[in-house]
Structures are given as C-alpha cells and as structure tokens.
Amino acid sequence: ETGVTQTPRHLVMGMTNKKSLKCEQHLGHNAMYWYKQSAKKPLELMFVYNFKEQTENNSVPSRFSPECPNSSHLFLHLHTLQPEDSALYLCASSQDLFIGPRGAYNEQFFGPGTRLTVL
C-alpha cells in the first residue's frame, strides 16, 4: 500500500448505529487530518493531529469522535449521526503542520475518502 488509504470506501448506516472510519498513511508523516466534503461546499476541516496529539477540533459535534493511536493511523468513530452528516469524509496527512523557515513544504496528501450515507 502506498500513500493514504481509507476504509471502508462506502458506508450506509442508520441514525442509531455505531461505526468507525479508518485511515492509514504510509508516508512517514507526522500530522493527520479529517475533512468533511459536502456537495457544492468547500472542504471543511474537522480534526488535526500532530504526533498523535489532537491540535484542532473545529467545533465538531460530539457524535464524531476521533482517535489517533499512532502517527500512521487515524480513526473517526461515528454514533447517532444525522442525515445531514451524509458526505465524503477525507483523511489527509502531511510531513509537518508548518512550513519551515527554509520553505519546507507541508502539502497535505489525501486518501480516496469514505462516502457516508446516513439513513
């Protein structure tokens, strides 16, 4: 496996279900991210992890619970979701959070996403 992988690719769940999304990066990066992409809307950052520590929670409802056991793996645990939570959930990683003084780049590499449908 190379790059950033996400499983499952598609998920349909009821509002009372509990499910988890998994992301794995094979790039040796230190930072990982969860994004939500809804139709015709900009990508919306949900969570940021740097060296396994959460550095940003972008006012995400508690029915979304992230977990980062190590720098290579990121999970998004889902419970009691609403139909409006249906979207493409994207995981990304970058070498670091910041661009260094010599211009070291920190572009984010994205996985293919999980298409989530909440019934």
Partner 1 sequence: EDQVTQSPEALRLQEGESSSLNCSYTVSGLRGLFWYRQDPGKGPEFLFTLYSAGEEKEKERLKATLTKKESFLHITAPKPEDSATYLCAVQARNQGGKLIFGQGTELSVKP
Report the C-alpha gap between 13 and 32 in whole angstroms: 25
Is 97 one of the binding residues for partner 1 (CB under 8 A)? yes
Options 13, 20, 52, 56; binder of partner 1; rule CB under 8 A: 56
Go through 13-22 and write b for each residue having 16 or more CB atoms within 10 A of its CB, e for each that does not: beeeeebebb
Is 41 one of the binding residues for partner 1 (CB under 8 A)? yes
Is 43 one of the binding residues for partner 1 (CB under 8 A)? yes
CB of 90 to partner 1, least distance (A): 5
Cβ atoms 66, 47 nearer than 8 A: yes
CB of 16 to partner 1, least distance (A): 28
Is 116 one of the binding residues for partner 1 (CB under 8 A)? no
Tell me the per-residue interface mask from 61 to 80 with partner 1, x by CB under 8 A, - otherwise.
--------------------
Report the C-alpha gap between 86 and 19 in whole angstroms: 13
Q: Site residues for partner 1, window 3-32 (CB under 8 A)?
A: 4, 6, 31
Q: Which two tokens stand for residue 66?
A: 């992230």
